[in-house]
Amino acid sequence: MIRSLLEASAENAIDYLENVHDRPVAPTPEALAALSALDGPLPEDSADAAEVIELLNRVGGPATTASTGGRYFGFVIGGTLPAALAANWLAGAWDQNAGLLAASPVAAALETISAGWLLDMLRLPATSGVGFVTGGTMANFTALAGARHALLQKAGWDVEAQGLFGAPPITVVVGNEVHVSALKALSMLGLGRERVIRVPVDGQGRMRPDQLPPLNETTLLCLQAGNVNTGAFDPAAELIARAHETGAWVHVDGAFGLWMAASPAHEELTRGYAEADSWAVDAHKWLNVPYDSGIAICRRPEHLRAAMSVNASYLVQSDQREPSHFTPEISRRARGMEIWAALRSLGRSGFVEMIERNCQQAQRFADGLRNAGFIILNDVVINQVLVSFGDADKTRRVIAAAQRDGTAWFGGTVWQGHTAMRISVSGWATTDADVDQSIEALVRIASEA
């Protein structure tokens, strides 16, 4: 029974992946309308699992966005590497609770191994503390909780015990192009999304060192490795050196950009980032593992542990790394397995080859669209391209028509007052032919719009 059910599911999944390259990237209106077949009152009676899954596959599959194919360029959304997907299936079958060493020694071991590999790949201090969380937002939240702990501990305040009422103030400094998720993380930590000092940025969205406000030992400075629109990097070496002279804490939101630290060709961009105190990275973006997967890192593991650990007599303790001491959750799924499988199968060279190929493909987009007469609004430093097709209205029409067309998928943005199409190349499956086919579609659509 379970064999036939899972075999049918595997067949369906394989069929999906074998065809995902040739179907429209966005679901059709008909496919979305058909989702109503999944609705209805809560069933009173049991149903055959095979029939339930057949229904899900038949109705749900066509309504998916083909983001795991090669022509999805919206937001920053990677696909899923074959090894990571296979590990995800096993992790689901094993149903391990990765929160506690005692509940899943294998999940804990794979986290410890993956943590070491990640720090090596990202060229961060090998003794850092690492938490496996759901994504960039939670990685920012978790690492910033470590920052909050450390800054207030220095000021003689135990924030985990006493909360923020009556605590000495922390001054938070962000670039004017800070990602909304970092602000959300600050708001969830009681640090407020509006009581931050915003530092003016340059034309690529980089924080301007000459505009830095006075910093001190109660300052939390948030840098960005990879602006979500342009891909630009804050000049970390200079900013971090200045911050550390004053005793400030430096956090890096490096959701997708920090992965470039693995690439010797991009050393210039990532210089200095390893000197920060905490970092947030997404694995479900450029590492191409399944959702949901992010990584929170603090230079001193005790800061992360102080902010995140719980203790109860029934939660078994040992002197080994307890996974839940580094994350907001206790119980959670074994994401470390997928990260382990991705890193073990790619190796350093495979990973670097993948991200550098995506960067070259972003250049290919920029060159192709510029040659077709459109305007590239940013310096294409990594995998992000901003394109204008004319005035704001025309650009908006091209984006909407391209999404309907289905050859590829692109989102829109407003970059420093200019309406633009955002192109993000971050999928392992994207080929140069995918890029060329997508450029052709854009040229055709723009001439009709």
Ligand X SMILES: *Cc1c(COP(=O)(O)O)cnc(C)c1O
Closer to ligand X by CB, 74 or 294: give it. Answer: 294
DSSP secondary structure letter of residue 207: B
Tell the smallest beta-carbon distance from residue 336 to ligand X (Å): 17
Q: Smaller CB distance to ligand X: residue 256 or 410?
A: 256
CB of 386 vs ligand X, minimal distance in Å: 14
Nearer CB in complex with ligand X: 388/426: 426
At its nearest, how many Å lie between ligand X and the CB of residue 253?
5
* Nearest alpha carbon to residue 133 among 119, 143, 146: 143
Instruction: Compare residues 74 and 226 and give the one whose CB is closer to ligand X.
Output: 226
- Supply 1's token pair: 């029974």
Close Cβ partners of 351 (under 8 Å, ≥ 6 residues apart)? 121, 259, 262, 287, 343
For ligand X, the binding residues (CB under 6 A) are: 76, 135-137, 179, 181, 226, 228, 253, 255-256, 282, 294
CA 130/CA 308 separation, integer angstroms: 11
Contacts for 364 with CB less than 8 Å, ≥ 6 apart:
432, 435, 436, 439
**Which residue lies nearer to ligand X by CB, 295 or 421?**
295
Residue 12 or 65: the one with the smaller Cβ distance to ligand X is: 65
Q: Is 251 helix (H, G, I), strand (E, B) or coil?
A: strand
Report the sign of the C-alpha dihedral through residues 107, 113, 115, 117, in that order: negative
CB of 94 to ligand X, least distance (A): 24
User: Between residues 424 and 430, which has the closer beta carbon with respect to ligand X?
Assistant: 424
Q: Shortest approach of ligand X to residue 138 CB, angstroms?
A: 7
Residue 421: CB minimum distance to ligand X, A: 17
Task: Provide the minimum distance between the beta carbon of 51 and ligand X in the complex, in angstroms, as a whole number.
Answer: 35
CA distance 19 to 32: 19
Are 284 and 256 contacting, i.e. CB atoms less than 8 angstroms apart? no
Q: Which residue is nearest to ligand X (CB)?
A: 136
Q: How far apart are the first and last CA of the chain?
A: 53
Three-state SS string over 278-293 comes to: EEEEECCCCCCCCCCC
How near is the Cβ of 289 to ligand X at its closest, in Å?
A: 12
Considering the complex, state which of residue 157 and residue 256 has its C-beta at the smaller distance from ligand X. 256
Q: Locate the DSSP E strands across 144-267.
A: 171-175, 197-199, 219-224, 249-253
Burial 172-199 (b: 16+ CB within 10 A, else e): bbbbebbbebbbebbebbebebeebebb
